[in-house]
């Protein structure tokens, strides 16, 4: 059986085991981490692991839900998988333990950063003198709730489906409001100089190049191209000459008409170069190209256009505003991580990149993948 099938089955089953030894520098026995003196409790970790597992299991309706919370042995996880997932009952303990470990790491990588960074944002807000009232949080919560859910029943179904309580949702909104206030203190203003610089360096985005409509014959040989040109000069129609001499599949059914030829197009380079410099109405060629010889006439020239700076300003402002916002968020997160990661101690089995002194574990293939 492939690893993906194991993980899918494991991700759909719920086990809750509290098993953390009272060891680890600065981390209380009932906690998985300590952030500047504030413990991230095992109870909180277990709850949000369940929420993460419910979210993952929602992709496989009808399956049980698993949260393998007994590292490093995962004995209870293995036992319950065998009981609850019959198709895995005879799978070796080594294989199931490896997959329990993989699932644990996958869920942990979502939950621990969420819990730790929530502490970081609150700590940074306190450091900067930012306060958030319950009224502010509830206003944001109520606005979003009323927009997303038409009835109380829909909201309650959402809570049941995700394994969250209203307190969980309100907590998420509190952290969001705090982050928003932290971000508001960082400048994301778009200046006229930024707009002008962007415009100058992206002129092609605010205009269209010159294009030309041409009639052409693509002949196999130079002699055939000369014959086609002579026929046109003696008054034969483009449709008749194209039908007799041209091998170009794109224009054979249009009487040789090719519309929208431009220097940035995908047409044959020799034809493009000749046609973009030819006068309108003159019969030109033969021009040797990759697939034969062209005889052509420019029948219409569509001038290039260029949007003015003032006309382009609204869309440039929005683009730069989004960029500045993203840059400010990245800078804020980097600043907060630099300030608080060194004060974040994690128990070894629960460590993630946000923890002080974190070292990524070596990857060991499971029996299902190996």
- Cβ-count burial of 244 within 10 angstroms (0-12 exposed, 13-18 middle, 19+ buried)? middle
- Cβ-count burial of 350 within 10 angstroms (0-12 exposed, 13-18 middle, 19+ buried)? buried
Lowest mean pLDDT among 3-12, 40-49, 302-311: 3-12
**Bridge partners for 289 per DSSP:** 292
Mean pLDDT of 142-152: 96
Mean pLDDT of 280-305: 95
Q: What is the 3-state secondary structure (H, E, C) of 16-76?
A: CCCCCCCCCCCCCCCEEEEECCEEEEHHHHHHHHHHHHHHHHCCCCCCCCCCCCCCCCCHH
pLDDT over 50 at 23, yes or no: no
What pLDDT score was predicted for residue 17? 31
What pLDDT score was predicted for residue 359? 85
Lowest mean pLDDT among 92-101, 150-159, 178-187, 261-270: 261-270
CA 236 to chain CA mean position, Å: 57
Tokens 């128990």 correspond to what residue? 347
How many CB atoms are closer than 10 A to CB 270?
15
Mean pLDDT of 35-61: 90
Q: Give me the percent of the chain exceeding a pLDDT of 70.
A: 90
Q: Give me the percent of the chain exceeding a pLDDT of 90.
A: 76
User: Mean pLDDT, the chain, as a whole number?
Assistant: 88
What pLDDT score was predicted for residue 179? 97
pLDDT band, residue 69 (cuts 50/70/90): confident
369 vs 250, residue with greater confidence: 250
Domains in the chain, ordered, with CATH? Answer: 210-303 (3.10.50.40)
Tokens 């930012």 correspond to what residue? 130
- Cβ-count burial of 262 within 10 angstroms (0-12 exposed, 13-18 middle, 19+ buried)? middle
Helices (H), the chain: 3-10, 42-57, 75-84, 93-127, 134-148, 152-162, 166-184, 192-201, 222-233, 238-245, 269-277, 309-340
Which positions ≥6 away from 218 have C-beta within 8 Å? 246, 247, 248, 251, 289, 291, 292, 293, 294
Buried b (16+ CB within 10 A) or exposed e, 129-150: ebebeeebbeebbeeebeeeee
pLDDT over 90 at 177, yes or no: yes
């Amino acid at each position: 059986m492939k690893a993906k099938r194991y993980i899918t089955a494991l991700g759909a089953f719920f086990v809750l085991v509290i098993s953390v030894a009272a060891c680890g520098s600065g981390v209380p026995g009932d906690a998985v981490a300590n952030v500047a003196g504030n413990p991230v409790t095992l109870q909180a970790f277990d709850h949000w692991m369940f929420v993460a597992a419910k979210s993952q299991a929602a992709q496989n309706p009808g399956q049980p839900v698993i949260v393998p919370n007994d590292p490093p042995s995962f004995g209870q996880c293995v036992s319950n998988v065998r009981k609850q997932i019959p198709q895995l009952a005879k799978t070796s303990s080594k294989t199931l333990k490896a997959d329990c470990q993989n699932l644990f790491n996958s869920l942990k990588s979502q939950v621990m950063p969420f819990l730790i960074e929530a502490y970081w944002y609150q700590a940074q807000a306190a450091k900067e003198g930012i306060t958030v009232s319950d009224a502010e949080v509830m206003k944001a919560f109520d606005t979003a709730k009323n927009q997303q859910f038409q009835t109380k029943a829909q909201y309650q179904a959402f809570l049941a489906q995700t394994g969250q309580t209203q307190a969980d949702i309100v907590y998420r909104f509190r952290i969001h409001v705090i982050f928003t206030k932290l971000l508001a203190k960082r400048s994301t203003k778009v200046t006229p100089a930024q707009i002008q610089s962007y415009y100058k360096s992206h002129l092609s985005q605010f205009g269209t190049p010159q294009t030309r409509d041409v009639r052409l014959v693509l002949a196999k040989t130079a002699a055939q191209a000369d014959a086609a040109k002579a026929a046109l000069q003696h008054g034969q129609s483009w449709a008749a000459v194209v039908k007799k001499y041209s091998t170009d599949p794109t224009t054979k059914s249009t009487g040789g008409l090719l519309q929208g030829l431009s220097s940035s197009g995908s047409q044959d380079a020799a034809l493009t170069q000749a046609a973009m410099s030819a006068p309108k109405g003159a019969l030109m060629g033969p021009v040797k190209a990759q697939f034969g010889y062209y005889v052509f006439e420019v029948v219409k020239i569509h001038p290039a256009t260029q949007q003015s700076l003032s006309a382009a300003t609204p869309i440039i402002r929005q683009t730069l505003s989004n960029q500045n916002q993203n840059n400010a968020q990245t800078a804020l997160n980097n600043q907060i991580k630099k300030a608080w990661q060194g004060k974040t101690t994690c128990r070894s089995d629960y460590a993630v990149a946000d923890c002080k002194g974190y070292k990524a574990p070596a990857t060991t293939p499971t029996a299902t993948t190996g």
